[in-house]
């Protein structure tokens, strides 16, 4: 759970997650939307992957990232218990 909150703590990583709401994207396509170097975006994507918020799959020369909705569902279930 600590890796999850660490990943969500950064505004760039949250912006990447928002981008992935529109569907899967390659690391290059994600990087085009930010003014950071490719290695910086790769670092953010790696932290999101370690927190299991995204999955990655190699497709030819590209690595495509997708939201892992299972983790979001588990997080929502955990958070909602505090509302009741």
Q: Domain count for the chain, please give it.
A: 1
- pTM higher than the cut 0.85: yes
**Which of 75, 13, 22 lies closest to 46 in space, CA to CA?**
13
**Mean pLDDT of the 7-14 span:** 96
* CATH number of the domain where residue 14 is located: 1.10.10.10
- Asked if residues 67 and 20 have their Cβ atoms less than 8 Å apart, the reply is yes
pLDDT digits (tens, 9 = 90+) for 48-79: 999 999 999 999 999 999 999 999 999 999 99
* Domain span at 29: 2-83
């Amino acid at each position: 759970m600590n890796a999850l909150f660490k990943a969500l703590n950064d505004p760039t990583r949250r912006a990447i997650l928002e981008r992935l709401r529109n569907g899967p994207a390659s690391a290059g396509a994600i990087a085009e939307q930010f003014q950071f170097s490719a290695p910086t975006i790769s670092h953010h994507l790696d932290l999101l992957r370690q927190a299991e918020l995204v999955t990655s799959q190699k497709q030819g020369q590209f690595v495509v990232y997708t939201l892992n909705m299972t983790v979001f569902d588990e997080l929502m279930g955990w958070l909602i218990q505090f509302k009741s």
